[in-house]
Amino acid sequence: MTKGKINVSVDNIFPLIKKFLYSDHEIFLRELISNASDATLKLKHLNKLGEAKVDYGSPKIEVKIDKKAGKLHIIDQGLGMTKEEVEKYINEVAFSGAEEFIDQYKDKLEDSGIIGHFGLGFYSAFMVSEKVEILTKSYKDEPAVHWSCDGSPEFTLETCDKKDRGTEIILHLDKDSKEFLEEARINTLLNKYNKFMPVPIKFGTKEETLPLPEGADKDAKPETKTVDNIVNNTNPAWTIPPADLKDEDYKAFYRELYPMQFEAPLFQIHLNVDYPFNLTGILYFPKLNNDLNLQKDRIQLYQNQVFVTDNVEGIVPEFLTMLRGVIDSPDIPLNVSRSYLQADGAVKKISSYISRKVADKLNSMFKDDRESFENKWNDVKVVIEYGMLSDHKFFEKAEKFALYPTVDGKYYTFEELQEKVKPHQTDKDDKLVLLYASSIEEQHSYIEQAKAKGYEILLLDSPIVSHLIQKLESSQEKLSFVRIDSDHIDNLIKKEDTTISKLSDDEKSNFETLLKKQISEDKYAVQLEAMDSDAPPFLITQPEFMRRMKEMQQTGGGGMFGMGNMPEMYNLVVNTNHELIGKILGTKTEAKQQRLIKQGVDLARLSQGLLKGEELTGFISRSYELIK
């Protein structure tokens, strides 16, 4: 028997392991199963290369709880280790640099919770164990060995009589880690980290109902058989060539990934690249609503089919983090902090590759089946619009397929839209004016008026649309977006002035004085206009600029204009050509004039939803008085 000291440059690595890697004890199981999987796959390769001549069979990994003895076993049928190999790989761990390394990274380490990538994977077993044993028999014709270590740097190593090839790790769980003797806890962990690992993992057994033999009595009780309970899918969809997958396969895999999501995804993008970096994955576009904060299920990051994290910040472009799915890449450095990650060249390439792939896919969907793409537009537009705002390369690509829906359910690309409206919606200064509404319900009367003029009205209702509009306007000269309720229809697209005012300047200023007694001037800016006599006498509009700035401020980004909280500001437009205005001016007593003005202004406020509470109650009883 060999006795010795694990070759560590510090006196005792174990307190270090426990202290600095404390945050995420549970990953010990992931690490040990990863080692078991590596050992199994290594043997497979050696066999293929003819370097090992063994009966590979159909190896699996087994996780076993021995509750009575307080032990957890992880057993594999992989290549095993000879005595020399245990000495080399286990005893002389990459420990020499460990203390230094942990010292250097301790701030970043604490929340990363990642240790396997420091070559400390096996030793994570000591986070939960007071003693760890290895029983291992190499595929080479050499005696099996038994290694044991009680958490101090001292270990024992001796030959033993293990017969079958492979390695068994036995953890004697310490008193703080008894949770890992619970079946449910282990199940949760296997489901989280190992659900898609490439080697079958057995955890206990289950009863399987056998099909009834042919011609059997219908009432016969089907027989059951005890079979291995395999917890993982060894061939998840992302590892299969896209050509071999049908749409149903992708949908089935989505359900496997997110069992709690009942709604099927709209479509998916299969990522597959091996140069200059290695990455596979599937990104799903779920049906997204307009609430950007409500997207819960996240993209999962794997490395060689082992789950690492569902925080893909920095790796996936931010606008795509609303998607779902998996990304698997061994090339993402994870043993570093997030801020470093974002600056890392390889990671940047990965991020822009993903962005490009998504743009290409959307473009080909648009080209191949425009109608179906249009049908999906409202469910995916948030992602695309967000992408256009935050990623200029994506913006350029998206110009080809980004759609602008109208209130009549038509969809234009930006180019088509401009062509279509140019003859009708160019104002007297040669500026192209694009009209839009944010709600068909709320802006109904404005929409009707614009339609009557033959204008095309877009329906832009996503939460970040004000930012996007701003961006589009700045990308092109002589272009402006105007919301349908931001002014009277005749003012939205100013053509040559033709209407002559029926009121003299004196009458106008007279009326203005009367009006200002009725309204609060820091909320309403009065605007007297000579419009068609059939246009309403009073009209409340919200100026495009003010409203847009306010919206942008609410969805972030307003700060860049250095503004405080923007007040609500409205225009009160008076149509000086309307009969009622003339009538008010001709009315005898001022009290009566004021009553008429108040009623008129309140009607305008009512149509904008601005009349509420006590004022609304007052308005209604006054109106009853009038019709009595």
- Under 8 Å CB-to-CB from 2, ≥6 apart: which residues? 83, 156, 157, 158
CB of 121 or CB of 314, closer to Mg ion: 121
CB of 100 or CB of 182, closer to ligand ADP: 100
CB of 112 or CB of 321, closer to ligand ADP: 112
According to the binding rule CB under 5 A, does residue 167 interact with Mg ion?
Answer: no
- The interface with Mg ion within residues 8-37 (CB under 5 A) comprises 35
Given Mg ion, ligand ADP, none, residue 268, with its beta carbon under 5 to 8 Å by kind, binds: none
Task: Report in angstroms how near the CB of residue 35 gets to Mg ion at its nearest.
Answer: 4
Nearest Cα to Cα of residue 528 among 515, 517, 518: 515
Task: Report in angstroms how near the CB of residue 304 gets to ligand ADP at its nearest.
Answer: 11
**SS3 call for 42:** helix
Q: Which residue has the tokens 């601005």?
A: 610
CB of 37 or CB of 351, closer to ligand ADP: 37
According to the binding rule CB under 5 A, does residue 281 interact with Mg ion?
Answer: no
Which residue has the closest beta carbon to Mg ion?
121
- The interface with Mg ion within residues 35-94 (CB under 5 A) comprises 35
Torsion of CA 282, 285, 291, 294, to 10 degrees: -40
CB of 167 or CB of 300, closer to ligand ADP: 167
Determine the interface stretch with Mg ion among 62-70, 118-126, 513-521, 569-577 (rule: CB under 5 A).
Answer: 118-126
Using an 8 Å Cβ cutoff, are 166 and 75 in contact?
yes
Task: Report in angstroms how near the CB of residue 318 gets to ligand ADP at its nearest.
Answer: 31
Number of residues that bind Mg ion (CB under 5 A): 2
Give 529's strand partners: 575
Given Mg ion, ligand ADP, none, residue 167, with its beta carbon under 5 to 8 Å by kind, binds: ligand ADP
Between CA 535 and CA 453 the distance in angstroms is 13
Q: Provide the binding-site residues for ligand ADP, judged by CB under 6 A.
A: 31, 35-36, 39, 76, 78-81, 89-90, 116, 119-122, 167
Letter string b/e over residues 58-72, b meaning 16 or more CB atoms within 10 A of that residue's CB? ebbbbbebeeeebbb
Between CA 331 and CA 277 the distance in angstroms is 6
Q: Taking the chain, what is the end-to-end CA distance rounded to the nearest angstrom?
A: 111
Secondary structure, 3-state, 194-243: CCCCCCCEEEEEEEEECCCCCCCCCCCCCCEEEEEEECCCCCCHHHCCHH
CB of 97 or CB of 276, closer to Mg ion: 97
According to the binding rule CB under 5 A, does residue 121 interact with Mg ion?
Answer: yes
Between CA 130 and CA 132 the distance in angstroms is 7
Give 457's strand partners: 435
Given Mg ion, ligand ADP, none, residue 157, with its beta carbon under 5 to 8 Å by kind, binds: none
CB of 119 or CB of 198, closer to ligand ADP: 119
Which residue has the closest beta carbon to ligand ADP?
121
Residue 539, judged by CB atoms within 10 A of its CB (0-12, 13-18, 19+), counts as buried
CB of 36 or CB of 354, closer to ligand ADP: 36
Antiparallel, parallel or unpaired: β 61-66 and 71-76: antiparallel
Residues of the shown chain interacting with Mg ion in the complex, contacts defined by CB under 5 A: 35, 121
